[in-house]
Structures are given as C-alpha cells and as structure tokens.
Amino acid sequence: MKKINNILAFALVVIFALPMLSSCGKKGEGDPGLSFKSRESRLMRAWKLTKIEGTEQYQDFNNNTVILTYSYDGTIYTMSGGGQSVSGTGTFEVEYLEYGNLTVNETFTANGNTDVYSATGTWQWLGSDGEQNYLLTDGGNNIFNGGLYYIYRLASKELILKQSYNQNDNGDVSKGDYTYTFEAK
C-alpha cells in the first residue's frame, strides 16, 4: 500500500511540474515541447546558415507577374525567375552574444568575385508583452542580410527564422516569403 501511495505522489508531482517546466522561457510554435533553457540562452551561441527557401512575387513594368525563387543549401545560393538566374557559393555564420551584440562572418563568390565580410552588430527581441517571438538582427551583405524575422523554431541545435511581407506602394504590389534554417556550430 505504501508503494502505491509513493507512485501516486510521484505521478501527481510530475503532472503538476511538467506544465511549469515546459513554460521555461517564451515558446514559439516550432519550439521543442520541453526545454530547460530560456529562448535567450538557446539563441546565444554560434549558428551556421544551412538552408534558405524563398519566393518573391511582383509586377514588372509591363504589368506581368514575376516570381523569383531563392534557395541555399549551406554552400550554393541560387536566385531564379523572371528570365534570369544568379548563383554563387558561400557561407554565413552568426554568433549571438550578450547585451544584444553579435558577430557575423560571410563569404560569397559569384561571377569570379569573392566578397569576404566580417562585422560586429546588434540584435534584439521584439514582440508584444515581452514575448520573444521576433528577432531584429544585423546580417551580412549577400546570403543573409538581416532584418526582422519571426522565430518559428528555436531549439538547442536548430534555429528557423521566417520572414514575410505583402506591400502595395501606389499600386505596385509585391510579396515574399522566406525561411532560413541555421544549425548550431
């Protein structure tokens, strides 16, 4: 009987403790179900960009719809559409540091020209009511330019950022959707 009471007591502790543990830090829709680290402590590390998937749509001067696709596999970057195609090779790495600081290293080669970029910059959380759903971050010159991103997934080994826009500038309509996947270094 004492053994059953101990099992019941343990089960009650687990039932009440799990919801509290899963709420450690803010949570994004793709975040792990259970994390013992806050979002900030999961973000603060070195990351390597491994994948980009993106589309952009706009009207050209003849009112034709142009769709561009962007892809990156960790080495090869390609943009195609609208009768053009551009590709290059390169890497992008960022390290998020304390106090909103970061370092960026990017190498990109296209058409025989190589651009090597290293810089320090800043980052900050954005979101309502202190939620850490959005990341405003500096970036590089070619592969990942920085900006405002929705944090879809922030795990200890994977970061997925999404960026979308839909704008109308005096009848010039354009929209875009991008997903950037990073792996921890």
- CATH code, domain with 84: 2.40.128
Any domain includes 32: no
Burial of 53 (0-12, 13-18, 19+ CB in 10 A): middle
Which range of residues forms the domain containing residue 149?
A: 39-184
Residue by residue, what is the 3-state secondary structure of 12-31?
HHHHHHHHHHHCCCCCCCCC
Burial status of residue 106 (CB atoms within 10 A of its CB: 0-12, 13-18, 19 or more): buried
Domain count, the chain: 1
Please state the length of the chain: 185
In a domain, 173, yes or no: yes
Judge whether 5 lies within some domain. no
pTM here is 0.81
Residues 22-63: tens digit of each pLDDT: 444 456 676 666 556 788 999 999 999 999 999 999 988 788
Residue 20 inside a domain? The answer is: no
